[in-house]
Amino acid sequence: MGVNSTLVKFHNLSIFLFCALASLSSGQTLREAADGAGVLIGAAVRPSQFGEKQYASILAREFNSVEPEDAMKWRVLRRNRRNYDFRAGDQVVRFARAHRMKIRGHCLVWGRDNPDWLMEGHFTTPQLSRLLHDHISRVMKHYANQVFAWDVVNEALDENGNLRDSIWLNQPGIGFAADATAYIAQVFRWAHKADPHALLFYNEAEGEALNRKSDAIYAVVKDLKKRGVPIDGVGLQMHISSDIDVESVMPAIAANIARLSALGVQVHITELDVSVPVDSRGVARPADLEKQADLYRAVVRACLQNPACTAIQTWGFTDKYSWIRSHSRGTRGAALLFDRDFEPKRSYHALLSELLAGRVPKSFSPLQRSE
């Protein structure tokens, strides 16, 4: 091993030890540090795990907001056409309110995770429009004054920034397929009417940096704002890999957050995780965990430096229940802040140290509409 490589490894280890010691000496949790920084720190959750003592205690201690992974999606809320089943979503609400946590809703309109009766029902366009309008109205009114923000539309664009074919757009659609994003505008208007106090977000993947997809997201939001559509924010999912170069990617992410905020909308980091290569046992190399911590630190810094970025949320919080390993067929994993034994990782300490460093004065309230 060369001298330069040894120095780099020593430098990275020194940073990790400094962050760990600083966070331990501060005695603060993530949620306490986030409260001080004026930002929400959240996690996507599974109510089926609330009975697990470590899961529940860490979630309540470390986070000031939650979002259900699946409990408020169509396939859970409406397993059949006639009945709504709010039990799982209500569990999330009860847990959050018991622990003074804010609640994000996810998600009202998506081309996936829909029940078979809906996808295979051969509905006419007017029938589908009524079904969607009813769904948005019933769900948002059920959770009014409880869910402060909703991912109204999720992943409407493909990897090239074009509108994605879906049951809502054109299969058969709700009646606006010939007018590009008009169906998105319509569902935002329905959502605002159902709960005028909720913050309404467009949530998207793979559009975090500057690329064709983020250009398309920007163009859609700019057009919606121009037309007076009640959209309050953009959710950047931020499922990223430790393989990316932090020095080149993070300035682009910061620039993207800046241009979105210039449109007058908030930005939430909604599904943050940083996957790393793992062996057959799911174990990552220390060097990759150091890269992971650097990326977590950089994402949080990019958010905190922009007053319109008001929430940071990870997709889960423990590697024990992360989706990454199964999705990658065992090649990647260890993507979150706590390991499978619920011990905090380098990434936890990196995130905490950035929150403790504070932020620029904010021009948005994370909990109120900008109007």
Give domain limits for the chain. 22-356
pLDDT of residue 360: 61
Q: Residue 3 above 50 pLDDT?
A: no
Q: Which two tokens stand for residue 7?
A: 């120095």
pLDDT of residue 310: 97
Is residue 354 among the annotated active site residues? no
pLDDT of residue 52: 98
Is residue 155 among the annotated active site residues? yes
Count of beta carbons in the 10 Å neighbourhood of residue 14: 10
Q: Mind listing the pLDDT tens digit for each residue in 298-334?
A: 999 999 999 999 999 999 999 999 999 989 999 999 9
Q: Quick one: CA torsion of 68, 72, 73, 79, rounded to 10 degrees?
A: 130
Cα radius of gyration rounded to whole Å, the chain: 20
Quick check: helix, strand or coil at residue 177? helix
Report how far residue 208's alpha carbon sits from residue 210's, in angstroms, rounded to the nearest whole number. Answer: 7
Q: What percent of the chain has pLDDT over 70?
A: 91
Q: Mind listing the pLDDT tens digit for each residue in 218-246?
A: 999 999 999 999 999 999 999 999 999 99
pTM: 0.92
What phi and psi, each to the nearest 5 degrees, are found at residue 353? -65, -35
Please identify which residue in the block is written with the tokens 């996957």.
275
Catalytic: which of 206, 208, 271, 290?
A: 271
pLDDT of residue 371: 57
Contact 310, 368 (CB under 8 A): no
Catalytic: which of 32, 155, 204, 290?
A: 155
Tell me yes or no: is domain 22-356 CATH 3.20.20.80: yes
